[in-house]
Structure 1
Amino acid sequence: MFDSLIYPVAAAAGIGDDSEMNETNSRLYTPEPVSPDEAGQRLDKWLAMRLLDLSRSRIKGLIEDGRVSLDGPTILDPSHRVKPGQSCRVSVPPDAPAIPEAQDIALTVVHEDEDLIVIDKPPGLVVHPAPGNLDFTLVNALLAHCGESLAGIGGVRRPGIVHRLDKDTSGLLVAAKTDAAHRGLSEQFAAHSLERAYRALVWGVPSPSKGEIEGNIGRNPRDRKTMAIVSGGGKRALTRYHVLQTYLGGCVSSVECRLATGRTHQIRVHMTSIGHSLVGDKTYGRVRLGRLASVPDDARAALTAFPRQALHAFLLGFQHPTKGYALSFESAIPTDINALIKILERI
C-alpha cells in the first residue's frame, strides 16, 4: 500500500520564475555578460570558466536547483546554450557543515554487517543534513550508532548514503559503511537492479487496476521546490502499480508500486499525474472533499487529518556489494497507516 524507498535526485530542463533565488546569506555571483565568441556554449561550461572557485559539478547542481538565471528567467538545464549579451545571476546557498555531529537517535536496525546497514526509517526523520535540517537526521544517528565501524567513504568517516527517502515516507533504506560497499551499492542503484516495492493509499481507484506510468520527471519549472512530469529534459521514470484493495466504495485504494527507475518523489508525482494522489500528501495531493461527502464521520476525520503521505517502502532486495549473495528485507506497514486502514475496513 505505500511508497518510500529509493529515489535518486533528478532535475529537469525548463524556465521558471527566479524570485526565490536570493535566500538569506546566499552568495550572489553576476559574471560579465556572454561575449559574442562564447555564444552557443553550454551554460554549465560557460559558468565554470567564469566562476573559477566553483566546480562544474557544483555549478550543474546549482542550475538544477533553480539558482541560476539568464536575463531574468531561471534556467534549469545545464546544457542550455547561452546567447551573446545575456546576463547571468547565480545564487549560492551557505554551505552545510562539512562533518555532521554524531547524535544518539533511536534506530530500527533490520540488518548490519561490516559493510552496510539496513534501517527501517520512521516517518518524520530526514535522511541527510541540509539547510533547514542540519542535525537530528539519519546521518547523525548512523554516525552515533556505527561509530568506529565506519571505515569511511571517500576518506571521511561517514555513512555512504546511496538513496534517500522523503522525510515523511517510512520504510527500508540501506547505507554503506565502507568505500567498497558504497561503490557496489551505487552501481546497483544506477543499473536499477535492486528490488524496490512500496505501498500507498491513494484517492480513488486507478484504472486499469494494473499498469505502468511513464513520464520524465524533473524540477517543476513553476515551483523549483517540487518535482513534475516535464515535456523537456528531466530523467526517464517508470512506475508499475497494482491496485490491492478499495475502500469506501472506491473513495480510497491501497496500491503497490514498484520502481523501474528511481527519481525524486517518483511515485507521488506519477500517481498524481493519473489523478490518484496519495492520501495525506500536502505537496502533490489534496483532500477530495466531494468524495468524502457521504463517508462516515470517523473515516472522514481520519482521512482529512492524516499527517503525512501514506507511503511506505516495504520491500528492499539487492546483492551484497562485497560478498555477492542476495539480500531481501520486508517491513511491516507502520502503525499510523495500519490504523487508518483498519478504520477504512470497518466501513
Structure 2
Amino acid sequence: MTDVLFTIGENPPPRLDKALARNVPERAISRSRLSRMIREGAVEVNGVVATDQKARVIEGDEIIVHVPEAVESHMLPEDIALDILHEDDDLIVVNKPRGMVVHPAPGSPSGTLVNALLAHCGDSLSGVGGLKRPGIVHRIDKDTTGLLVVAKSDVAHQGLAAQFLDHSVDRLYTAICFAIPSAADPRLMGLAGTSFEAGNQLKIITQLARHKTDRQRQAVVLQNGKHAVTRVRVVQELSGGAAAVVECKLETGRTHQIRVHMSYVGHALIGDQTYSRRRKLAGQHTEQVAAFSRQALHAGLLGFKHPLTGRNLRFTAPLPKDMQDLITLLS
C-alpha cells in the first residue's frame, strides 16, 4: 500500500471526491476508483476517516489517501498472436480478427483479446481500476474485424473514455450491405430518424434498446432508449445494384449500432446472422453470398488524441481478405 499526502489549497472544489481528482492526478487513478476508495474508508481528512464522497473540504485540510497495490486479475494470460499497429507505455492499438471476443464472458471465458493482451503486456500493465488488466474503453463484435484502442494505465483509460463519451473519436467502418441506400429508395421515404445530407450521405438518428423478446438483439425504439447516430455513404455499387460497399461513420457507439441501423433502413449487412438471416441476394452469386458466415463489417479507421501527450493519432487497417473476396465476386 502507498500513502499519498497533500494539503487542500486555495479555492478548492467543494466536494472531497472532486478535490481528490484535482490533487492526485500523478497517481493515475480514475475518478470512479477514487470514489470507491472513499466509500471503502481509504481516505482520511485531518486524521479522521471520511467515507462520504460529497463531504465538504476547505483550504488547509490535510488529506491522506491509502492507495492499495493493484491486484492480479482473475483472467488468465494466453499466448495469442496480435496484429499491433501502435504501442506505448499508456495504450495499444490492435487490428482484431474475426471470431475473437474482446472481453471474457460466460460464453467465451478464454481466447479473447483481453487474454491475449495480458500475455503480451505482462508487467507493463498498470492497475486499471485496481486490477492489473487492460482498460477496455470500446468494443467491436466478435465477428467484426478491425481497430481497437486499449488503455494500459488508469490515466489513459480515463482520458480515452472521456473522448468516447464526448464523441470526439473518429470511427469509420466499411460494410457490404444489401441494395443501395439512396434518396430515391422508397423504403427510406418518410422513415422516422432518417435524412439525406450533402453528397447523398444518409444520416440515421434513433434510439436503441435491447429487443423485448430476443435479448441477444438490439432494436430501434421510440423512447427510453440510447441516442444513436450513424452516417452512411455509398462507396461502390455491386452486383447491378443488389449490394453496395458503404462507409459508416459512428457519432455514438451503441451495441450493434451499425448492424441495427442498416437493418432498420432496409439495407442489412450481408452475412449478419442476427439482423439479416433470411435475406438473400437477388440475381447471381446467391449461394456464395449466403455462405458468407459473418457480418460484412470492418472497423477500418480510428482516430483520437493521445490522452497523455495530446498528439492526434490516426490509424487505418485494410479490409480483411474475406470482404475483399466478396467485393471482387460481386463487382
Same fold by TM-score greater than 0.5? yes
Q: 1:242: which partner in 2?
A: 233
Q: 1:325: which partner in 2?
A: 311
Alignment of 1:309-324 (within 5 A): 309-324=295-310
- 8 Å contact kept, 1:279–1:287: no
Partner residue of 1:198 out of 151, 154, 173 = 173
Instruction: For 1:113 and 1:128, locate their aligned partners in 2 and report how far apart those are by CA, in whole Å.
Output: 21
Q: Does 1:105 align with 2:80?
A: yes
Q: 1:121: which partner in 2?
A: 96
Instruction: For 2:103 and 2:74, locate their aligned partners in 1 and report how far apart those are by CA, in whole Å.
Output: 12
Letter in 1 for 2:224: G
- 8 Å contact kept, 2:73–2:133: no
Partner residue of 2:262 out of 268, 271, 274 = 271
Shift in Å, 1:230? 1.0
Which runs of 5 or more structure 2 residues have no equivalent in the other structure?
Answer: 1-71, 184-199
SS in 1 for 2:93: strand
Q: Does 1:282 align with 2:273?
A: yes
Instruction: For 1:211 and 1:285, locate their aligned partners in 2 and report how far apart those are by CA, in whole Å.
Output: 20
Letter in 2 for 1:203: F
- 8 Å contact kept, 1:151–1:179: yes
Shift in Å, 1:302? 2.0
Q: 1:226: which partner in 2?
A: 217
Instruction: For 1:308 and 1:244, locate their aligned partners in 2 and report how far apart those are by CA, in whole Å.
Output: 20
Partner residue of 1:135 out of 95, 110, 132 = 110
Letter in 2 for 1:113: D
Partner residue of 1:188 out of 123, 141, 163 = 163
Shift in Å, 1:301? 2.6
Partner residue of 1:304 out of 290, 300, 309 = 290
Identity, % of aligned positions: 53
SS in 2 for 1:221: coil
Distance 1:104 1:149, change over 3 A: same
Provide the aligned C-alpha RMSD in A. Answer: 1.3
Instruction: For 2:288 and 2:81, locate their aligned partners in 1 and report how far apart those are by CA, in whole Å.
Output: 28
Shift in Å, 1:287? 4.7
Shift in Å, 1:173? 0.1
Instruction: For 2:73 and 2:182, locate their aligned partners in 1 and report how far apart those are by CA, in whole Å.
Output: 47
TM-score (norm 1): 0.69
Q: 1:8: which partner in 2?
A: none
Instruction: For 1:251 and 1:260, locate their aligned partners in 2 and report how far apart those are by CA, in whole Å.
Output: 27
Total equivalences in the alignment: 244
- 8 Å contact kept, 1:219–1:226: yes
Partner residue of 1:342 out of 317, 328, 331 = 328
- 8 Å contact kept, 2:73–2:131: no
Alignment of 1:155-194 (within 5 A): 155-194=130-169
Instruction: For 1:228 and 1:327, locate their aligned partners in 2 and report how far apart those are by CA, in whole Å.
Output: 33
Instruction: For 1:173 and 1:303, locate their aligned partners in 2 and report how far apart those are by CA, in whole Å.
Output: 27
Q: 1:62: which partner in 2?
A: none
Q: Structure 1 or 2: larger strand share?
A: 2
Larger Cα-atom Rg: 2
Partner residue of 2:250 out of 246, 251, 259 = 259
Show CA shifts across 1:117-143 (max 9, x none).
000000100000011101110000000
Show CA shifts across 1:24-75 (max 9, x none).
xxxxxxxxxxxxxxxxxxxxxxxxxxxxxxxxxxxxxxxxxxxxxxxxxxxx
SS in 2 for 1:118: strand
- 8 Å contact kept, 1:244–1:253: yes
Alignment of 1:147-158 (within 5 A): 147-158=122-133
Instruction: For 2:94 and 2:82, locate their aligned partners in 1 and report how far apart those are by CA, in whole Å.
Output: 7
Letter in 1 for 2:98: P
Instruction: For 1:174 and 1:256, locate their aligned partners in 2 and report how far apart those are by CA, in whole Å.
Output: 20
Q: 2:35: which partner in 1?
A: none
Alignment of 1:16-35 (within 5 A): none
- 8 Å contact kept, 2:204–2:230: yes
SS in 1 for 2:258: helix
- 8 Å contact kept, 2:73–2:132: no
Shift in Å, 1:231? 1.6
- 8 Å contact kept, 1:287–1:304: no
TM-score (norm 2): 0.72
Letter in 1 for 2:232: Y
Instruction: For 2:123 and 2:137, locate their aligned partners in 1 and report how far apart those are by CA, in whole Å.
Output: 20
Instruction: For 2:138 and 2:275, locate their aligned partners in 1 and report how far apart those are by CA, in whole Å.
Output: 21
